[in-house]
Amino acid sequence: MNHVSVIIPVFNPTSHLLACVDSVLHQSYESFEVIIVDDGSTNNALASMMRMWASPNIRVITSGDNRGVGHARNCGVRDAKGVYLSFIDQDDLWPPNKLETQAIYLDAHPIIDFVIGQQVYFLSDEQEQAPPWLRQNFLQKSLPGYLPGTLMVRKKSFELNGFFDEHLRSGTDDVDWFFRAKDLGLKSAALPYDLLYKRVHGNNLSQQVNNHQRELLHVVAKSIARQKKG
């Protein structure tokens, strides 16, 4: 059974983190560690929450000043002891079979570098309606999940592709990683199962629509340039 490192970047967490970590701790897969990366939080919520988790599988590291989710994820990767890496954001949830489903697949398919699954958007209790950046008909619907939250990747493949670009601070560091993986020729598989429940609320990074779109154009342009170089 290959060990999995679960990396959770955290900044000023709310009670949503309790539900997130609970969904990780209740995985059917047994061989995993949880690395919570505190990205310069300015409240004391995380310290209070840590007293509620009596699991030896959890540890907290700090990334210093708030430098963004990409930097926090990279800190977690550098500290990871697992053969496989998985990521989940502090507000999101996993079904109990997420890690087991993907680890079994990677074990059985050694030529595959990483595997993703489907995602399902759901409104947080305090969110009355879908924000402008999300179509209403996307809620509670199984959608392709090219997101860190559905990803399980071999650590050696992650390092081959390179770390998340820490200069991308508006929610495209993961898009850039997937583009680079495609351009590099990493082999992937998409499983037809809902493996991430993506919470929608007012603080989602995707709310920064203008900055997100500018970064996205930059990421696409870099990908095109790499392909032209061959």
Q: What is the pLDDT along the chain (230 residues), one digit of tens a residue?
A: 789 999 999 999 989 999 999 999 999 999 999 999 999 999 989 988 888 887 889 999 998 889 999 999 999 999 999 999 999 999 999 999 999 999 999 999 999 999 999 999 887 777 666 666 656 766 778 989 999 999 999 999 999 999 999 999 888 999 999 999 999 999 999 999 999 999 987 655 555 677 878 888 988 888 988 988 87
- Domain 4-229, CATH among 3.40.50.2300, 3.90.550.10, 3.40.50.720, 3.30.930.10: 3.90.550.10
**So what's the pLDDT on residue 208?**
65
- The alpha carbon dihedral of 206, 176, 156, 110 has a sign of positive
In the DSSP assignment, the letter for residue 65 is S
Say if CB 147 and CB 196 are below 8 A apart.
Answer: yes
**So what's the pLDDT on residue 79?**
97
Query: What would the two tokens of residue 126 be?
Result: 């305090």
Nearest to 212 by CA among 165, 171, 164, 174: 171
HSE value, Cβ hemisphere, 13 Å, CA-based, for 46 = 21
Nearest to 124 by CA among 199, 20, 198: 199
**So what's the pLDDT on residue 128?**
60
**So what's the pLDDT on residue 193?**
98
**So what's the pLDDT on residue 34?**
97
Say if CB 85 and CB 153 are below 8 A apart.
Answer: yes
SS3 15: coil
**So what's the pLDDT on residue 213?**
83
**So what's the pLDDT on residue 124?**
74
Nearest to 8 by CA among 19, 133, 119: 19
Distance CA 12, CA 27 (A): 25
HSE value, Cβ hemisphere, 13 Å, CA-based, for 141 = 8
HSE value, Cβ hemisphere, 13 Å, CA-based, for 112 = 19
Distance CA 187, CA 207 (A): 31
Say if CB 3 and CB 81 are below 8 A apart.
Answer: yes
Count of CB atoms within 10 A of residue 229's CB?
A: 7
- The single-letter code of the amino acid at 10 is V
**So what's the pLDDT on residue 139?**
75
